[in-house]
């Protein structure tokens, strides 16, 4: 089981790299999806681990509900994020994060 947890940690770390080291807004959003997926895998592993030793048929996958909620939030976040990207590109003609500093004060 620990191999799956290490995999989820690896995906989270790769996603963090993408969020921090890239300046293209679309790729930053994709990296955010990678991070959420790493967390999802960890949640599914924990669900399975806590079901061990419970009588056959009595174990309920409560963690899977959490994963479904995370997926729904990810979908909503991507929809709003990409809409913001579109309206930013329409007004500013750029997707470069370093060009978007008007809230910088």
Partner 1 sequence: MDPLFTLTAAISVGAAMMTVTRRNPVYSAVWLLVCFLAFAVIFLKLSAPFLAAIHVLVYTGAILVLFLFVIMLLNLQPDEIAEEYSTKAKLGVAAMCVVLFGFLAIPLGTDPAWSGPLPEVGAEFGSVAHVGRLLFKDYALVFELVSVLIIVAMFGAMVLAKKRLRYRIPHRRQLDDLPPPNILADHPYVPNPGPIDRRPEPRPDDEEGAM
Please give the residues from 2 up to 41 whose contact with partner 1 meets the rule CB under 8 A: 2-7, 9-18, 20-27, 29-31, 33-34, 37, 40-41
Site string for partner 1, 40-69 (x = CB under 8 A): xxx-xx-xxx-xxx--xx-xxxx-xx-xxx
Question: What is the residue whose two structure tokens read 């790769």?
Answer: 14
**Angle at which helices 25-51 and 62-92 pack, to 10 degrees?**
180
Site size for partner 1 (CB under 8 A) = 80
Smallest separation, CB 35 to partner 1 (Å)? 10
> What residues from 62 to 101 belong to the interface with partner 1 (CB under 8 A)?
62, 64-65, 67-69, 71-80, 82-87, 89-91, 93-99
Smallest separation, CB 105 to partner 1 (Å)? 13
Smallest separation, CB 7 to partner 1 (Å)? 5
d(CA 72, CA 57): 27
Smallest Cα–Cα separation from 17: which of 2, 39, 32, 6? 32
Half-sphere exposure of 55 (CA within 13 A, CB side): 1
d(CA 28, CA 104): 19
């Amino acid at each position: 089981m620990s191999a799956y947890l290490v995999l989820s940690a690896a995906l989270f770390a790769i996603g963090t790299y993408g969020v921090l080291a890239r300046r293209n807004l679309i790729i930053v959003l994709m990296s955010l999806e990678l991070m959420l997926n790493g967390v999802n895998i960890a949640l599914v592993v924990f669900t399975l681990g806590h079901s061990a030793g419970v009588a056959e048929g009595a174990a309920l996958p409560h963690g899977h509900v959490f994963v479904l909620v995370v997926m729904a939030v990810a979908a909503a976040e991507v929809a709003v994020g990409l809409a913001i990207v579109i309206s930013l590109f329409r007004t500013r003609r750029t997707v470069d994060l370093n060009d978007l500093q008007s809230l910088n004060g």
